[in-house]
Structure 1
Amino acid sequence: MSVLIGSRKDRTVSGAIAALDGKPTTLTTGTAIGILVEAAAASPGSQAGKRATTALTKALTGHEEPQVRVAAAKALGRIDAPAAVRALRRVADDEVDGQLVAAASEGLARLGTRADTRRLTGAADRATWEHAVTAAGVSTRLLAHRLGLRLDPADVALRLPGEDAPTLPVTGRIKARIHDVELPVPRKAAVPDPQWAALVPSDAAPVGAFDCGGRTHVVLATGDPARLREAPGVAGALLGTNESMGTTYVRWVVLTRPEGDGVAVTVARPTGEVGFVGTGSWGDDGSLTVTVEAVDAPGATAARATATLRGRTFTIDGRAERALTVPRLVPAAFAPR
Structure 2
Amino acid sequence: MSVIIGSAKDRTVTGAIAALAGKPTTLTPAAAVAILAEAAAVAPDKVAGRRAVTALAKVVTDHAEAQVRVAAAKGLAHVQSDVSVRALRKVADRGADGQLLAAAAAGLTNLGGRADVKRLRGAAVRADWPLAAAQAAASARLLAHRVGATLDPEDATLRLPGEDAQVLPVGGRLKTRVKTVDLPVARTRARADLPWAALVPDDASAVGAFSCGDRTHVVLAGKDVDSLASAPGIAGTLLGVNESMGTTFVRWVVLTRPDGDGLAVTVARPTGEVGFVGRGTVVDGVLSVTVDAVDHPGATAVHVTATLSRGTLEVDGRSERTITSPRRQPAPIPQQFDPTGPVAVAVGAG
Q: Which amino acid aligns with 2:5?
A: I
Query: Which residue of the partner structure matches residue 33 of structure 2?
Result: 33
Distance 1:180 1:129, change over 3 A: same
Query: Which residue of the partner structure matches residue 310 of structure 1?
Result: 309
Asked if structure 1 preserves the Cα contact closer than 8 Å seen for 2:18 and 2:25, the reply is yes
Corresponding residue SS for 2:250: strand
Mapped partners of 1:261, 1:74: distance in 2: 40
Per-residue deviation, 1:250: 0.4
Asked if structure 2 preserves the Cα contact closer than 8 Å seen for 1:190 and 1:249, the reply is no
Q: 1:179 aligns with which of 178, 181, 204?
A: 181
Asked if structure 2 preserves the Cα contact closer than 8 Å seen for 1:303 and 1:320, the reply is yes
Instruction: Report 1:1-337 matches (<5 A).
Output: 1-171=1-171, 172-184=174-186, 187=189, 189-190=190-191, 192-193=193-194, 195-283=195-283, 285-332=284-331
Per-residue deviation, 1:331: 3.4
Q: What is the TM-score normalised by the length of structure 1?
A: 0.94
Structure 1 residues not aligned, in runs of 5+:
none
Residues 129-153 of structure 1: CA deviation (Å, up to 9, x unaligned): 2112111111111111000111011
**Range moving further from structure 2, 197-206 or 116-125:** 116-125
Mapped partners of 1:38, 1:266: distance in 2: 33
Q: Which amino acid aligns with 2:179?
A: R
Mapped partners of 1:311, 1:143: distance in 2: 26
Corresponding residue SS for 2:200: coil
Per-residue deviation, 1:329: 2.6
Mapped partners of 2:191, 2:123: distance in 1: 33
Asked if structure 2 preserves the Cα contact closer than 8 Å seen for 1:102 and 1:136, the reply is yes
Q: Which amino acid aligns with 2:21?
A: D
Per-residue deviation, 1:184: 1.7
Q: Which amino acid aligns with 2:157?
A: A
Q: Which amino acid aligns with 2:53?
A: T
Structure 2 residues not aligned, in runs of 5+:
335-350
Mapped partners of 2:183, 2:118: distance in 1: 40
Per-residue deviation, 1:190: 4.8
Q: Which amino acid aligns with 1:26?
A: T
Asked if structure 1 preserves the Cα contact closer than 8 Å seen for 2:226 and 2:282, the reply is no
Mapped partners of 2:54, 2:241: distance in 1: 34
Corresponding residue SS for 1:332: coil
Distance 1:76 1:298, change over 3 A: same
Query: Which residue of the partner structure matches residue 340 of structure 2?
Result: none
**Range moving further from structure 2, 73-82 or 91-100:** 91-100
Mapped partners of 2:20, 2:333: distance in 1: 37
Corresponding residue SS for 1:198: helix
Q: Which amino acid aligns with 1:201?
A: P
Distance 1:9 1:243, change over 3 A: farther
Mapped partners of 2:99, 2:227: distance in 1: 35
Per-residue deviation, 1:291: 0.6
Mapped partners of 2:170, 2:323: distance in 1: 12
Mapped partners of 2:81, 2:333: distance in 1: 43
Per-residue deviation, 1:191: 5.6
Q: Percent identity?
A: 62
Asked if structure 2 preserves the Cα contact closer than 8 Å seen for 1:191 and 1:249, the reply is no
Asked if structure 2 preserves the Cα contact closer than 8 Å seen for 1:190 and 1:247, the reply is no
Mapped partners of 1:175, 1:7: distance in 2: 53
Asked if structure 2 preserves the Cα contact closer than 8 Å seen for 1:216 and 1:240, the reply is yes
RMSD, matched Cα: 1.8
Distance 1:58 1:191, change over 3 A: closer
Per-residue deviation, 1:324: 1.7
Per-residue deviation, 1:313: 0.6
Per-residue deviation, 1:333: 6.6
Residues 78-121 of structure 1: CA deviation (Å, up to 9, x unaligned): 11110000011111112322222211111111111111112112
Residues 195-223 of structure 1: CA deviation (Å, up to 9, x unaligned): 31011111010000011111110000111
Per-residue deviation, 1:226: 0.4
Q: Which amino acid aligns with 2:327?
A: R
Mapped partners of 1:167, 1:173: distance in 2: 17
Mapped partners of 1:277, 1:163: distance in 2: 7
Corresponding residue SS for 2:275: strand
